[in-house]
Chain A
Amino acid sequence: MKPAPFAYTRPGSLAEALATLAGDPDAKVLAGGQSLVPLLSMRLAAPSALVDINGLPDLDGVTVTASGVRVAALARHADVLASAEAAAVQPLLAMALANVAHPTIRNRGTTVGSLVHADAAAEMPVVLSLLGGSVDAASTAGTRTIPAAELYVGPLQSSLRHDEVAVSAFFPALAPGAGVAFEEITRRQGDYALCGVAALVDGASVKVGYLSVSDVPTVVDLSGIPVEEMGEAALAHLEPADDIHATADYRAHLVRVLTTRVVRSAYDDARGRR
């Protein structure tokens, strides 16, 4: 479990990092390393070079405004989770982040890294999708904003180009009167969920995001459907699968159970905020 050889650079400026990435299509960005390093060690990934962005200035921090929470590329999950301001503006962040792995992993892993790793079993891509957030990506050609709806294109695949660095993500604030909730079922605390559900309700609007029951982070608009039937309705958009931890049928069952539970919790949350 030792990585294959790779070049390692730790650029001092974003421009330098972007130039390196532009010159080497097989280079990968290293931030928290919580997904990438195990892949390297198991030799499931063998990039030519790692561009370590941990030395870059101005990519740290969580910025909170009335419109939402901006998380810079080097902010760790633990930084976002610790921000009371962020939790006040968008409570779903803390609700979901508490379920991201374990404290040691949250201390190293970055939220933006998790977003662009695009794992449909991860919490934060679903949260970004549900909230309609976005990721800002920089390259030598400039900076662009990728809406969540355009970010996730396939299993473990984002629309981020190889020459881009995701420099920040933006999670919109919770609208007045709206409510959110999050729950997942895991085998062990901190494991990837067998099924996870995030809900955003605002008046008659009900949107629900799902993790671990589809190939890509999936948000389903369940507005207008009786709450007991929402899970069944959502299953039309999901593809729960068998694996060694749970059957597809059990996961589908969890979709039904959790959808009802989480939507109700989101309405409770909305009422509690009035």
Chain B
Amino acid sequence: MTTKLVGTPVQRVEDQRFLRGQGRYVDDIANDPSTLHAAVLRSPHAHARIIDIDVDEVLDLEGVHAVWTHDDLAGPMAEPLPLLIPHPSLTHGRTQYALAKDEVNYVGEAIAFVVADDRYVAEDAVGRIRVSYEFLPPVVGIDAARAATHLVHDDVPGNIGARMEQHNGDAPAAIAAAPHRLELDLTIERSACTPLEGRGTVARWDPDVNRLQVWSSTQTSTGVRAAVAVKMGLDLGQVDVITPDVGGGFGVKINHPWPEELLVPMAARALGRTVKFTEDRREHFISSAHERGQVQHIEVGFDDDGRLLGLDVMFWHDHGAYTPYGLIVPIITSTQLLGPYKPGAYRVVFESLYTNTVMVTPYRGAGRPQGCYAMERTMDAIAQFLGKDRAEVRAINFIQPDEFPYDHGLIFQDGRELEYDSGDYPASLVKLKALVGWDEFPAYKAEMAAAGRQVGIGLACYVEGTGVGPYEGAHVHIETSGKVKVATGLTTQGQGHATVFAQLVADELGVKHEDVEVVTGDTRRMPYAVGTFASRAAVMSGSAIHLAARRAKEKVLRIAAEALEADEKDLQIVDGVVSVKGSPGSAIDLGTVSVLSNPLRYAFDEASKAATQFSVGDPGKPPVAEGEEPGLEGRDFYSPERATFASGMHAVVVETDPETAEITILKYAVVHDCGNLINPMIVEGQIHGGVAQGVGGALYERMAYDESGQLLNASFMDFLMPYVTEVPDGIDIDHLETPSPLNPLGVKGAGEAGVIPSAAVFAAAIEDAEGIPIIAMPISPSDLFHLRQIHAKEPS
């Protein structure tokens, strides 16, 4: 038997290429002197009316081919960009235009689009555009948005884009009747995905066939394709969108179409030339998307054991200047806040607010880090109030293994019921406590204190709804060479899809891993797809690929059974050869099966002779039997009823310097349950990356807007994405595998998990080290220094 690959740490097939600099990203496409390059004039003001745009000096510049402003756009292109995910509660949704019309609402909003011989000239040209503005008062930050002294959009009262409430039971009454009550006010600041490759688009119009080819650094090539076709008035069949290697997405590239994803194709068709836009780092900070900023008010009622009786949460979500991605982030916060716990009666209300800042769309975790922060800070507060062990208070509130499926009585981000499919939270906690040394920590803390050192420990738990629908599909094609070509439509940003999807196919078909080639994100190969987000690729495309491979295998066995004059049930496929079990002489390789699957009139090589009309087939039957198709292919789709819920728990030990307030990570432990593991090494890599990003969000990163709406740290010099020197040297990981009943692989998503508990777990550990409540994240040494001063003056 071929050794089973699923569940084993197969080495990534992508890495040789990436590590040797052979990755091929959008900026590497059409790298020849005939390609034209675009640059964008972006608003330098957070809020202003545009009085006039003077582009007269631009076309005088040698090497400039064209300049567009909103006045030059026509038809659907001149309309606002799509609101991708409408929701009844989003009563005042607004989206920007591809190029600003009359008003700008954040620093960085696109105003004019220049195409020139190269990016240098294009930027020179942008510098020559003169815009007259009438300044409007900017609304920056949640406090200003709530005060609503000024409005971002004249026709949005109170700056409130949406107000949404969900409840299960009567939380206020349950809290009022509870033996104990607490209130918490928490804040969490903005951060951003900051992939190392920013956005980028290349487009080429072929006038001979009236077709547009677009390459984009996106998390959804089918989404971009649909948007480009609609906006440019093309049939879907005239547009191909190809996603080459992508240098990170983390959510920001699921939003679409970005202005440049429309403007580049428009320019390519208008100019009859290949046009490229490559976003630079400053542009990424000021014109892509941010996330995370929320203010939260929590009221909780609980009994003497710390059992939740009622939980009432109100939060204010800063969604920036526009709402193209709807309410996904705050809906996720409001539902996933519940984590592994039974909340008693629950009510959550949020307001999603406009500010004159970069818009907010999902960033890895997508609202969950904020929700986890709210819930886990609450758990810690309850434990502190009751003088109980923090792990114990959590354990008493866990949903128990025999309570699945567990219905929270709420509606999740996909419009479906928030119903957890499976999990084992008590077992995870046992593992985590052992992994981090929870029970031994008090002794360690005392020992360190005796040596003049301050240490603290924190833990945080989460549940993550992954693998949301609507669907993904796959196409598996066994070529006459015996090699297997697999296509799925969602895109890849470095996750290792080519490795894990090939593992699934190799196991199902009985072929060698190296004989399977996977293509993702190419609408020519799989035009039906949704995209890569919500930790869904393994669940959705993985399942679809598994099903498609099974269909291909069924066909292999039908054809081989006939060729070998054997019963299908007696056949096996090992290393690409179909044979009759127990009679090794009776065998046929997959390449020959593929030849036989496609009856030929013409032989084009030695192998194909076998399929020609005088060689095979029963002359009394049609060459292609009824219900069959020529070719050795399998195609299938996977569409689940609802999301599958992964879970995990993190613990961290930190040291805080009594003098400098520097915060050092001493130990980081993760227990993770994403169902069956396809490739444990890749899952651990996802956790490592998530934890690194979480360390950034908890201890380093913030979007430093000043009161006028200027982003003061729009560079990697001042936006402190952690270096390898800032993330833990080692992360201790333990897995639990609670299979999902919802998909054929029993898998759950793993991509976002590592980042979810960061703010919560670091706040808890620092609070434990310092004895000071931590209610605002992220936290820097300077912040901690000031907290110490405040609490030294007013002991709590």
**A: which residues have CB within 8 A of B?**
1-5, 38, 42-43, 185, 187-191, 194, 244-247, 249-250, 253-254, 257
| Neighbour of A254 across the interface among B120, B282, B660, B780, CB < 8 A | B660
User: How extensive is the interface on chain B, given as a class?
Assistant: 20 to 34
Flag B700-723 by CB within 8 Å of A: 1 or 0 each.
101010000000110101101011
Interface flag for B426 (CB, 8 Å): no
Residues of chain A contacted by B725 (CB below 8 angstroms) = 188-190
The answer on a CB contact under 8 Å between B723 and A188 is yes
Interface flag for B280 (CB, 8 Å): yes
Alpha-carbon separation in the docked complex, A245 to B712 (Å): 11
Residues of chain B contacted by A254 (CB below 8 angstroms) = 660
Alpha-carbon separation in the docked complex, A38 to B720 (Å): 17
Interface flag for B79 (CB, 8 Å): no
Say which one of B96-104, B336-344, B637-645, B781-789 lies at the interface with A.
Answer: B781-789
The answer on a CB contact under 8 Å between A2 and B282 is no
Q: Which 9 A-B pairs have the closest CB atoms?
A: A189-B725, A246-B782, A244-B704, A250-B782, A1-B280, A2-B120, A250-B785, A257-B659, A2-B123
Interface flag for B124 (CB, 8 Å): yes
Residues of chain B contacted by A5 (CB below 8 angstroms) = 120, 124
Alpha-carbon separation in the docked complex, A131 to B453 (Å): 35
Alpha-carbon separation in the docked complex, A6 to B704 (Å): 33
Alpha-carbon separation in the docked complex, A211 to B21 (Å): 38
Q: Which residue of the partner chain A has the closest CB to B718?
A: A244
Residues of chain A contacted by B786 (CB below 8 angstroms) = 247, 249-250
Residues of chain A contacted by B789 (CB below 8 angstroms) = 249
Q: How far is the CB of A100 from chain B (nearest CB, A)?
A: 15
The answer on a CB contact under 8 Å between A188 and B722 is yes
Alpha-carbon separation in the docked complex, A199 to B782 (Å): 24
Q: How far is the CB of B611 from chain A (nearest CB, A)?
A: 56
Alpha-carbon separation in the docked complex, A1 to B284 (Å): 11
Residues of chain A contacted by B127 (CB below 8 angstroms) = 4, 43
Q: How far is the CB of B719 from chain A (nearest CB, A)?
A: 9
| Neighbour of A1 across the interface among B282, B712, B718, CB < 8 A | B282
Alpha-carbon separation in the docked complex, A250 to B712 (Å): 20
Q: How far is the CB of A260 from chain B (nearest CB, A)?
A: 9
The answer on a CB contact under 8 Å between A244 and B712 is yes
Q: How far is the CB of B453 from chain A (nearest CB, A)?
A: 16
The answer on a CB contact under 8 Å between A188 and B780 is no
Enumerate 6 A-B pairs (CB-CB under 8 Å) in ascending A order. A188-B700, A188-B726, A190-B723, A194-B781, A245-B780, A245-B782
| Neighbour of A185 across the interface among B700, B704, B720, B781, CB < 8 A | B781
Alpha-carbon separation in the docked complex, A244 to B282 (Å): 17
Interface flag for B281 (CB, 8 Å): yes
Knowing A246-B782, A250-B786, A253-B785 touch, does A189 contact B723 (C-beta < 8 A)? yes
| Neighbour of B781 across the interface among A38, A43, A250, CB < 8 A | A250
Interface flag for B662 (CB, 8 Å): yes
Alpha-carbon separation in the docked complex, A153 to B781 (Å): 32
Residues of chain B contacted by A187 (CB below 8 angstroms) = 700, 720, 780-781
Interface flag for B609 (CB, 8 Å): no
SS class of chain B's interface: helix, strand, loop or mixed?
loop
| Neighbour of B720 across the interface among A42, A43, A188, CB < 8 A | A188
Q: Which residue of the partner chain A has the closest CB to B719?
A: A244
Residues of chain A contacted by B715 (CB below 8 angstroms) = 42
Residues of chain B contacted by A257 (CB below 8 angstroms) = 659-660
Q: How far is the CB of B466 from chain A (nearest CB, A)?
A: 31
Interface flag for B119 (CB, 8 Å): yes
Q: Which residue of the partner chain B has the closest CB to A258?
A: B660
Alpha-carbon separation in the docked complex, A42 to B569 (Å): 68
Alpha-carbon separation in the docked complex, A253 to B712 (Å): 24
Known: A5-B120, A246-B781. 10 other contacts (CB 8 A): A1-B280, A1-B281, A4-B123, A4-B127, A189-B726, A190-B725, A247-B782, A247-B785, A250-B781, A254-B660
Residues of chain B contacted by A250 (CB below 8 angstroms) = 661, 781-782, 785-786
Residues of chain B contacted by A1 (CB below 8 angstroms) = 280-282
Residues of chain A contacted by B781 (CB below 8 angstroms) = 185, 187, 194, 246, 250
The answer on a CB contact under 8 Å between B723 and A185 is no
Alpha-carbon separation in the docked complex, A43 to B715 (Å): 14
Alpha-carbon separation in the docked complex, A1 to B781 (Å): 32
Knowing A188-B723, A244-B704 touch, does A2 contact B780 (C-beta < 8 A)? no
Q: Which residue of the partner chain B has the closest CB to A253?
A: B785
Residues of chain A contacted by B124 (CB below 8 angstroms) = 4-5
Residues of chain A contacted by B700 (CB below 8 angstroms) = 187-188
Residues of chain A contacted by B726 (CB below 8 angstroms) = 188-189
Q: Which residue of the partner chain B has the closest CB to A195?
A: B660
Alpha-carbon separation in the docked complex, A38 to B718 (Å): 13
Name, among B718, B782, B786, the residue most crowded by chain A CB atoms within 10 Å (CB to CB).
B782
Residues of chain B contacted by A3 (CB below 8 angstroms) = 120
Knowing A244-B704, A249-B786 touch, does A191 contact B720 (C-beta < 8 A)? yes
Name, among A1, A38, A249, the residue most crowded by chain B CB atoms within 10 Å (CB to CB).
A1
Q: How far is the CB of A247 from chain B (nearest CB, A)?
A: 5
Alpha-carbon separation in the docked complex, A249 to B783 (Å): 11
Q: Which residue of the partner chain B has the closest CB to A42?
A: B282
Q: Which residue of the partner chain B has the closest CB to A46?
A: B127
Residues of chain B contacted by A191 (CB below 8 angstroms) = 720
Q: How far is the CB of B39 from chain A (nearest CB, A)?
A: 8
Alpha-carbon separation in the docked complex, A6 to B389 (Å): 66
